[in-house]
Amino acid sequence: MAARRENLAALRSRGKDPFAQRRAEVTATAGELLERYGFLAATQDAAAEQWSLAGRILSKRTMGKTIFADLGDRTSRLQLYVRKQDVGEDGFADWNDLDRGDLVAVRGYMFRTKLGELTLHVTAFRAIGKALRPLPDKWHGLQDVEKRYRQRYVDLIVNPDVRDTLVMRSRLIAEMRRFIDGAGFYEVETPTLLHLAGGAAARPFVTHCNALDKAMQLRIATELNLKRLIVAGLERVYEIGRIFRNEGIDTTHNPEFTMLELYAAYWDVSDMMEFNEALIAHLVSVATDGGTDLPHGDGAISFQRPFARIEYLDAMAQCSGGRYTRERLLDSVAAQQILGELGLPASPTHGHALDKIFERVVEPSLIVPTFVSGYPVVISPLAKRRADDPEIADRYELFCATMEISNAFTELNDPDDQRARFDAQVSERLAGNEEIPEPDWDYVRALEYGMPPTAGIGVGVDRLIMLLTNARSIRDVLLFPLQRQHG
């Protein structure tokens, strides 16, 4: 750092303060130039076409009166060729005072070297920013995992694959919006700060609103407010927003995450399944430039439509060799006994027990994209009952690579049934299940004004991006994952 400050002082002594620059002329990116001039043969140039670009010096090699450097911008990495006779004595001295990590604006023309590398022949440049801290070692990169996530700004500079994953995330979310907008949905925004967080089984974060002198909760879902908008007549609404759940951190969970929630009046769960499948297949095509297979571990997963389909209770029976039957699973006492057979601790409620059994018995086998349908009503408090089976909800979850990707159902729109289920949840909460939210009685009031038949879905965007980019941890697809405070 001392040497870098000396170089900064030297630049300033010659009137070349990098921090004094207000802007930089940029007429092309590194990626654009590499694509545009791919046709150049060795030693051939395009000197008639001058371009300006800006970025960070990622390496620098001085050979007498010539300097080769690599410039990185948001699109790619491009070799620079700087000669003393082109930039002059002072300019060449300025280059000698530039360090790896410094920011420069350059102008020049493209040529291909004798060794075949596309290169920008620099005719003019200026320093536009100084890195006072050195970047991590260029050969080994930034390897400390915790430091990578904590200092994400450095991680993105030195690890292009990380940048590429997060740029792909941005592209995929934009494509998700285009696909949904094209189906006639309105994107809306609902509050993050709520008097009462509902719509999911999760513990909320609690904060305090000084203006109201009242405890508030951060949302654990956008569901109830979006369904209020269905009542209001918007008919097709969605939100891609941040959700906050006060839960553990592991490879598929982060307390702050992104969820797509979407609701369509006049649809049922089968309509939503078709839409869900089409959306996922489209995003796979975008991620693979028109393909249907995604890399996964040492192999690949096919997303050729149609996806696999299985019933919840059938899956439980199949994966347990027939031991976990419908009768046992739908009996609260027997479900607790099954937990014991699996070596799992007792659960506070019947629904919680079923979740834990499914997680242990079925989820590890769900590698290919699979719709699991027909969840028990006891774990589906906001879903409509099946017409021919009142103990089963009109609901499915989509699993892939052993992860839950989406959760959808035909929405319960009977206010009396909803009130009764909220009453049941009150009992579960009193029994010790801290993840059961307090009932939102105003939502019942909204239903009393009449909600049409509606299907809804929640998609875990971060897990979906993990799948689409073959990332191993949710932290790899978040720009700034939650970390313990350093020191």
| pLDDT at residue 143 greater than cutoff 70 | no
Helix (H) or strand (E) holding 317: helix 312-319
pLDDT, tens digit, 9 for 90 and up, residues 64-121? 999 999 999 999 999 999 999 999 999 999 999 999 999 999 999 999 999 999 999 9
Task: Work out the pLDDT band at 242, boundaries 50, 70, 90.
Answer: very high
| pLDDT at residue 139 greater than cutoff 50 | no
pLDDT, tens digit, 9 for 90 and up, residues 209-221? 999 999 999 999 9
> Contact, 220 vs 200, CB < 8 A?
yes
Q: What CA–CA distance (Å, rounded) separates 410 from 386?
A: 9
CATH 3.30.930.10 corresponds to the domain 158-307+368-477: yes
Question: Residue 141: what pLDDT?
Answer: 54
pTM: 0.89
Task: Work out the pLDDT band at 487, boundaries 50, 70, 90.
Answer: low
Q: What are the CB-based long-range contacts (under 8 Å, 24+) for 44-48?
A: 44/111, 44/112, 45/109, 45/110, 45/111, 45/112, 45/121, 46/109, 46/110, 46/111, 47/109, 47/111, 47/121, 48/109
Residue showing tokens 């990332």:
471
Picking from 175, 176, 174, 212, the residue whose alpha carbon sits closest to that of residue 194 is: 212
Question: Residue 349: what pLDDT?
Answer: 85
Q: What CA–CA distance (Å, rounded) separates 100 from 116?
A: 24
So where are the chain's domains?
A: 2-135, 158-307+368-477
| Terminal Cα-to-Cα distance of the chain (whole angstroms) | 22
- Who contacts 314 (Cβ-Cβ below 8 Å, separation ≥6)? none
Q: What does the DSSP assignment read for 68-81?
A: EEEEE-SS-EEEEE
> Contact, 57 vs 99, CB < 8 A?
yes
Q: Architecture of 2-135 per CATH?
A: Beta Barrel (2.40)
